[in-house]
Each structure stands twice: as C-alpha cells, then as structure tokens.
Amino acid sequence: ELPDMSGADRKSRAEANWADAATSPARRDDGARFAYDVQVEYFREMKAYLRQLGLRIPVTCVVTSWVAPDVKSVADTLDFTAENVYWDHPAFEPGKEWQKPFYYANKDPLKTTNPWTMPPYSAVLKWRGKPVVVREWAAVWPNQFRASMVPLAAAYASFLDLDGMLAFTYTFRGAKLNDFAWERDPTRWGMMGLAAAMFHRRDIQPAADRVRIEWSDKALFTWQDTLTDLYRLAWVSGLENAPTGAPTDAGVALTLDGGV
C-alpha cells in the first residue's frame, strides 16, 4: 500500500506518528524516492520513443514545482523544466474546480514577497544546466494591481535568467473583460509589447550575485514542501539547484542536508 503523499511542512512532520503505515515520515520519504525512480524511467522511455518517431523539438513534462524530487526527475531526463506562474489565479470551493463562484485575493505583487510570488516560485525550477520555460503566465483580472505584474515578470525573468515566458492566453471569445484573455484588457495588453522588448533585449541583466542550493540525497527525498523562505533569495540574487558536490561558478553555496 502506498503512503499518504499529501503535502507536509516541518511542523506536521515533527508531530507525525512514525509508526503509522500511511503517514509515517519514513514511509513518505520512501514514497518520494519510489515516485522519482518511476518517473525517471517513464520520462526516459517516452523521450526515446518520441525521438524514435522523429520528434526533434525539446521535450519536457510539467510537474509540481514545489516538490524538489518531482522537478529533479525532469531535470535529470528531459530537455528543460517548465511550470505555470499566475498572479491571483482564481480559487474554487472544495470539489468544485472551475465552477462558480471564483475567489480572488486582490493582492499587490509589488508588496508581496512570500515564497509563492513569481521570483521564488520560478527559481525552484532552476536546476544546474537546464533551461527554464514558464509555459503559462498571467496576471488575472479582476485583480486591480494586475498591470504591475507585467513589468515585474519581465524584469525578473531576465534577472533570474529564465529562457522563455509564454503568456496565457490570447483569444477572442466575446467582448467582455476576461480573467485570462490579455488582449481585451488595456491595462495588461498595452504593456505586453514593452515587456517582451525588455525581456528579449535583456534590459535587465541576469543577477551578478548567484547562489547555488545544494541538495544531498537525504535532503532531496525528505518529504516536505520545497518552496520555503529560502527561495526568497530570488528577489535579490540568481539561484540554481544542484546535487551536492556538482561543479558550479555560483558565488555562494547553501547545502541542504538532513531535511533542512
């Protein structure tokens, strides 16, 4: 029987019953390692099969960015890492995904620096030697601060040396202002050309100060959320993740061991 792999933080891990077959941290750690091994084998097999069919474009798989072994399974086998980054994505009532009513936080991205903001969230995807593409990003209406997310995202995509940003979405499905449709909202769409030019010209240079977060084998497979305050370093420096001992030119290395 597989263990319960629902999310865990340090507090819940410390208070867990280590004798419980479903929620013991030891079994969850083994579950993370097992899932990593299965995914690595699957990704390698699928990539080889696609190449055999003649596919020549880069291949990736979108996983859960705040789970380190999940992202590393992609970094170890595929051509780049990818995730979605949204500001004020709608929330739903339990069991009613994409069913109204939708709920929004209406927070200002320029006044929010927690780990779930764009720079830390994107930095979790950066593993040594792998490109990063944000495959969907948007500042969602009706957030009244949504326009400020456009230059912020362009600036930090350059500062963190990301490789691609794909806006979601460009479509015409009526005349009304829409949560995701950029082109009907002057406050967002009017800035997209400027933001794209900023990114392509690298008006903001990649961070001069760079930090590498080193993952030991033990730390990687300690089952808990990865997206901690440590990744808030992305607001002021470039970040990359790497196995402990991997070559690097980063200025500072922070080693994670024992689940720290």
Mean pLDDT of residues grouped by 10 in the chain (260 residues)? 85 88 93 96 98 98 90 97 95 95 96 94 93 95 95 96 93 78 89 94 94 92 90 94 81 64
Q: State the pLDDT at residue 55.
A: 98
State whether residue 42 is helix, strand or coil: helix
Q: Are 241 and 127 in contact (CB under 8 A)?
A: yes
Please give the pLDDT value at position 225.
Answer: 85
C-alpha–C-alpha distance, residues 145 and 117, integer Å: 14
Q: At which residue do the structure tokens 């705040």 appear?
A: 66
Give the list of residues 6+ apart from residue 187 with CB closer than 8 angstroms, or none. 146, 147
Q: Report the SS3 class of residue 65.
A: coil
d(CA 222, CA 153): 31
Please state the φ and ψ torsions of residue 82, each to the nearest 5 degrees: -155, 150
What is the per-residue pLDDT for 260?
41
Cα-trace Rg, the chain: 20
Tokens representing residue 200 in the block: 């392509």
Place of tokens 């969230």: 121
What pLDDT is recorded for position 250?
A: 64
H or E element in which residue 39 lies:
helix 25-52
pLDDT at 258: 47
| pLDDT at position 173 | 67
pLDDT score of 241: 94
* Nearest C-alpha neighbor of 148 from the set 202, 111, 102: 111
CB 25 within 8 A of CB 7: no
